[in-house]
Amino acid sequence: MSKSYSVAILGATGAVGTELLELLESRNFPLSNLKLLASQRSVGRTLPFKGENLPIEAVSDRAFDDIDIVLASAGGSTSKTWAAKAVEKGAVVIDNSSAFRMNEEVPLVVPEVNPQAAAGHKGIIANPNCTTILMAVAIWPLHKVKPIQRLVVATYQSASGAGAKAMAEVKTQASAILEGQAPVAEVLPYPLAFNLFPHNSPLNDWGYCEEEMKMVNETRKIFGTQQIRITATCVRVPVLRAHSEAINIEFETPFSPDEAREILSQSPGVKLVEDWRANYFPMPIEATGRDEVLVGRIRQDISHPCGLELWLCGDQIRKGAALNAVQIAELLVEKNLLKPAIAQAMS
């Protein structure tokens, strides 16, 4: 009989939490028990899973008793409060916040890119930022053939990156504008419906926002090199739940678009979407609800002989967050990596 595991979702009522629940069901993850954890205000609610209505429990020390895997998606402060306590109880925490991503002791994992990194965990594995995950899946297969020298990225990020409340706010703003009323912004700093603005995360001394620096630092960590030069401009756009990215890639030597297409057409987690006659390429509306990162419009950079341009779209809630976390959990189960590296060395 195959082994099954006790899993807790921390932040079960959020946009990513409910997606985690759907993915555990649709991918038939080997569960012996599933616990849904959230703040005290969500206690009394239920969420559907495999024909049942599972109750929401308040997160507490005892909530992690006999749990094998915690899928955490409740924000950085919550993860910093509870992750260590879950690990003390013997669980492995797969954390979707930014709390541990740049911690040298914590692997930062995209299963299609660096699955081997998961083996070195000490109880916590970090899920990268959504924009980083989508880009990494698309460009890693090219980097393996010819190492990337430089990346120039512009992102077009959906409301879902700011959570379910931001998605609802965009809908409300759109209705207000269409009815001739002024849109109200409460979740995001400015109205997003029929509008866009540079990502609103804090700016550093160079004028780069936190979101842009996540792409720089996380990509280097995942790829295992500090040598890639990376610059990013992140923009919030009035799309509900799929991010898009325009990526300029510079290699040391020329990389033909046809070779890149051939490689990406066979790469895990990627779907090539190109119809040049119809001017048809990836769109966020078609990436929504899909597991793959849609990649297309691959072309020679006419300003640089060693440059390629590509465009991608990916579901921010799915592969950009929940799916990547579930895939990490599947990797841990498949490779028998649930026991932390320290414990394995001692046993």
Predicted confidence (pLDDT) at residue 339 exceeds the cutoff of 90: no
**Same-domain status, 152 and 214:** yes
Indicate whether 136 and 278 sit together in one domain. yes
Supply the CATH number for residue 210's domain.
3.30.360.10
Domain membership flag for residue 104: no
Nearest-angstrom CA–CA distance, 95 and 108: 10
Is residue 51 left, alpha or beta, with left meaning phi > 0 and alpha meaning psi from -120 to 50? left
What pLDDT band is residue 337 in, cutting at 50, 70 and 90?
very high
pLDDT at 344 over 60: no
Higher confidence at residue 250 or residue 1?
Answer: 250
Annotation marks residue 143 as catalytic: no
Domain co-membership, 338 together with 274: no
Lowest mean pLDDT among 131-140, 159-168, 278-287: 159-168
**0.85 surpassed by pTM:** yes
* Residue 284 predicted with pLDDT over 50: yes
Number of domains in the chain: 2
**Which secondary-structure segment (H or E) carries 151?**
strand 148-157
Q: Does residue 115 lie in a domain region?
A: no
Is 33 a domain residue? yes
Same domain, 173 and 148: yes
Phi, psi of 93 (to 5 degrees): -100, 125
Residues 308 and 256 in one domain: yes
Task: Provide the domain limits for residue 327.
Answer: 5-99+322-346
Distance CA 324, CA 329 (A): 9
Distances (CA, A) of 255 to 145, 250, 269: 9, 9, 21
Residues 169, 236, single domain; the answer is yes
- Write the pLDDT tens digit of every residue in 216-236: 999 999 999 999 999 999 999
Residue 49 lies in a domain: yes
Of the candidates 121, 130, 234, 313, the residue annotated as catalytic is 130
122 domain residue, yes or no: no
According to DSSP, the residues that pair with 249 across neighbouring strands are 151, 308
Asked if residue 338 belongs to a domain, the reply is yes
Residues 177 and 75 in one domain: no
Grade residue 177 by pLDDT with cuts at 50, 70 and 90.
Answer: very high
CB 231 within 8 A of CB 152: yes
Burial category of 302 from C-beta neighbours within 10 Å (exposed 0-12, middle 13-18, buried 19 and up): exposed
If one counts every other C-beta atom within 10 angstroms of the C-beta of residue 135, the result is 30
CATH of residue 39's domain is 3.40.50.720
Quick one: 226 and 94 in the same domain? no
pLDDT in tens, 88-123: 999 999 999 999 999 999 999 999 999 999 999 999
> Is 130 one of the annotated active-site residues of the chain?
yes
**pLDDT tens digit string along 126-148?**
999 999 999 999 999 999 999 99
**Domain shared by 166 and 63, yes or no:** no
Domain assignment present for 43? yes
Answer yes or no: is 164 within a domain: yes
Same domain, yes or no: 307 and 332: no
Are 222 and 285 contained in the same domain?
yes
Give me the pLDDT at residue 1, please. 42
The predicted structure's pLDDT at residue 346: 38
Which residue in the list 121, 143, 199, 243 is annotated as catalytic?
A: 243
Report the percent of the chain where pLDDT is more than 90.
Answer: 94
pLDDT at 2: 72
Same domain? For 292 and 171 the reply is yes
